[in-house]
């Protein structure tokens, strides 16, 4: 299948999601379930990665700024901007593409292979609306929350690393965080996050929903969905930076 066939099927899937829900209460329940699956279940990995990201950025920046002519507050400025602009949104979403994306693709793939999707269709349920839409909406709700959490913990991790290793005291780090802060950076980071959230939920849903064959194909679809999501995240990263900055 060529690129345009995939693109066409993907767009048709997105279009097919928008229909009147058969029962609003069940759809709400499914949305809450997906918020839990995508958001709460990813908190652990996000916490660990973001603290270490901040810590490593602090140590490596200090290592590169050996001249006494540059004030130590610059370390905090670099850590803050790196975390907000790139590391929290992009790196965390790449990780989530693996964690959440593979789960979405294998869940839908398994439902397809075991005829559960056919069973829902036979009942008269729009499976794209019931199975895919709640996943995308849930990702659009919880992924920005995870990225904000990652940014806060990353900056805090940087502070801890600086303080514990004696690179810079917390007061200087705090001063650096407030220096030359551009609020637009947060808007830019959130724009990237919403784009990535859509990618990491809709692309795996596409691959999982259209699985054909057996369990081997579920694994392949899962891997492919993660690879394609990561590539699309990087392309979107560059495109958004070129357009919005």
Q: Which residues bind other proteins (CB under 8 A)?
A: 19, 22-23, 25-26, 110, 114-116, 118-119, 121-126
Q: Which is nearer to other proteins, 24 or 245 (CB)?
A: 24
CA dist., res. 159 & res. 76, Å (int): 8
Find the shortest distance in angstroms from Cβ 186 to other proteins: 37
Closest CA to 128 of 14, 8, 10, 229: 14
Find the shortest distance in angstroms from Cβ 217 to other proteins: 16
Vertex 17, ends 14 and 21: CA angle to 5°? 170
Cβ proximity of 79 and 181 under 8 Å = no
Find the shortest distance in angstroms from Cβ 160 to other proteins: 39
Q: Which is nearer to other proteins, 126 or 195 (CB)?
A: 126
Find the shortest distance in angstroms from Cβ 114 to other proteins: 6
Find the shortest distance in angstroms from Cβ 215 to other proteins: 13
- Residues 6 or more apart in contact with residue 1 via CB below 8 angstroms: none
Which DSSP letter does residue 40 get? G
Q: Which is nearer to other proteins, 26 or 235 (CB)?
A: 26
Q: Which is nearer to other proteins, 31 or 56 (CB)?
A: 31
CA dist., res. 110 & res. 98, Å (int): 17
Q: Which is nearer to other proteins, 30 or 237 (CB)?
A: 30
Find the shortest distance in angstroms from Cβ 204 to other proteins: 18
Looking at the chain, list the stretches that DSSP marks H as alpha helix, in order from N- to C-terminal side. Answer: 3-17, 24-38, 43-64, 73-82, 92-96, 102-113, 116-122, 127, 133-164, 170-178, 184-209, 215-244
Q: Which is nearer to other proteins, 122 or 164 (CB)?
A: 122
Find the shortest distance in angstroms from Cβ 107 to other proteins: 9
Q: Which is nearer to other proteins, 60 or 116 (CB)?
A: 116
Q: Got the DSSP string for 55-110?
A: HHHHHHHHHH---TTS-THHHHHHHHHHIIIIIIIIIHHHHHIIIIIHHHHHHHHH
CA 120, distance to chain mean position in Å, is: 29
């Amino acid at each position: 299948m060529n690129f345009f066939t995939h693109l066409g099927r993907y767009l048709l899937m997105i279009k097919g999601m928008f229909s009147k829900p058969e029962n609003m209460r069940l759809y709400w329940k499914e949305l809450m379930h997906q918020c839990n699956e995508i958001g709460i279940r990813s908190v652990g990995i996000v916490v660990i990665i973001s603290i270490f990201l901040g810590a490593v950025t602090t140590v490596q920046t200090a290592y590169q700024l050996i001249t006494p002519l540059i004030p130590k507050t610059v370390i905090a400025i670099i850590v803050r901007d790196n975390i907000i602009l790139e590391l929290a949104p992009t790196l965390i979403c790449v990780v989530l593409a693996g964690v959440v994306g593979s789960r979405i693709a294998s869940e839908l793939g398994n439902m397809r292979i075991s005829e559960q999707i056919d069973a829902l269709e036979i009942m008269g349920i729009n499976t794209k609306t019931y199975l895919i839409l709640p996943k995308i909406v849930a990702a659009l709700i919880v992924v920005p929350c995870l990225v904000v959490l990652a940014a806060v913990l990353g900056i805090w991790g940087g502070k801890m690393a600086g303080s514990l290793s004696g690179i810079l005291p917390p007061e200087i780090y705090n001063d650096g965080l407030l220096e030359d802060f551009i609020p637009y950076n947060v808007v830019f980071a959130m724009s990237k996050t919403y784009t990535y959230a859509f990618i990491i939920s809709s692309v795996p849903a596409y691959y999982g929903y259209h699985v054909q064959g057996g369990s081997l194909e579920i694994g392949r679809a899962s891997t492919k969905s993660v690879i394609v999501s990561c590539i699309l995240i990087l392309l979107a990263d560059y495109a958004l930076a070129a357009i919005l900055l």
